[in-house]
Amino acid sequence: MKTKPNGYWTYEKCKEVTLKCETKYDMYNNHGTVYNKIMKNKWFELQEHFTSSKKSNGYWTYEKCKESALECETKSEFMINFSSAYNIVRKNKWYDLFEHMTPIGNKYKRLIYVYEFDDNYCYIGLTGNLKRRNIQHIFQDKKSSVFLHIENTNRNPILLIKTNYVNVDDAILLEEKILNDYKNKGWNILNKTKTGGIGSNVIKWNKNACKMEALKYDNASQFDKKSSGAYHSAAKYGWLDEFFPMTSKNGHWNNKELCKKEATKYKNRSEFCYGCWSAYNYSNINNWLNEFFPKYYKSS
């Protein structure tokens, strides 16, 4: 999509583009600028027609989940494109449906990527999860050199993948080599820090660091909003119940009435998810969402 002048993406313009998409994943991949505008302005109602929000309770059988999973190459794609099916697969431990998917990097492997801007600026990085890192650079991390350059110049970069997932030690050496190659070709480098960092919150946010960070907040929802990196590490490794015992499965948000009360604060599921992910997540797991938001429920 070509760069548009400031102010171009009004609510109506964004609505026109969104209606051409069937899923959030399609929207993000093909219309990233519009997706960013919608998220920034909290126009979540524009996404309510996406297919992932139209399935009735009980729709996601094993076979239906399998059909959707086979359309995806990675777990991240499956989670974004078919979030309800993904949650059902995890809940029922149907892990065989992940077997065909391409594994992303982990704390032992990284790939090298480059953002190239048409004004001869670039950013070189390495990551164990390219989709997540891309979302952070483009939408979430307002201190990111990539995010700031987009904001300051109104230019959208091209994302290039320079390597496959390789051993961390090899990735560190390759990152420096690729950065020097760009320097020698006359590119302006946006990287603020020296190459060699492994580009993941997995190492930074170990259990002790997450626990110290969690102590700053009253509940898991606040923890998620204020320190998403630490929150997601804690969620991934199962530490949230320890840090916030009142929000465990046997505690706060597994109470239907409390979730229902929280849900009344929001106009739709999307706002509920964004405003209080913990309550939304337990509501989704327990199949309460159709009751909380009947207006958006359609039977198959």
Q: Are 215 and 174 in contact (CB under 8 A)?
A: no
Q: List 5's β-bridge partners, or say none.
A: none
pLDDT in tens, 256-278: 888 898 889 888 776 776 667 66
The last residue of a domain, from among 144, 178, 199: 199
pLDDT of residue 134: 86
| pLDDT classification of 25: cutoffs 50, 70, 90 | low
| Domain contains 292 | yes
| Domain contains 4 | no
Please compute the mean of the pLDDT values over residues 187-197 and round it to a whole number.
74
| Domain contains 276 | yes
Pair 151, 70 in one domain: no
pLDDT of residue 144: 87
pLDDT of residue 32: 77
Pair 140, 93 in one domain: no
The last residue of a domain, from among 52, 77, 98: 98
pLDDT of residue 103: 61
Please compute the mean of the pLDDT values over residues 195-200 and round it to a whole number.
46
The last residue of a domain, from among 73, 98, 123: 98
Pair 192, 209 in one domain: no
| Domain contains 155 | yes
- pLDDT greater than 90 at residue 187: yes
Pair 171, 213 in one domain: no
> Which range marks the domain in which residue 48 is found?
11-98
Pair 212, 154 in one domain: no
pLDDT of residue 200: 42
| Domain contains 5 | no
pLDDT of residue 113: 93
CATH label of the domain that carries residue 129:
3.40.1440
Say which range, 60-64, 104-108, 199-203, has the weakest mean pLDDT.
199-203
| Domains of the chain: total | 3
- pLDDT greater than 60 at residue 97: yes
| Domain contains 141 | yes
| Domain contains 158 | yes
| pLDDT classification of 238: cutoffs 50, 70, 90 | low
Please compute the mean of the pLDDT values over residues 207-228 and round it to a whole number.
76
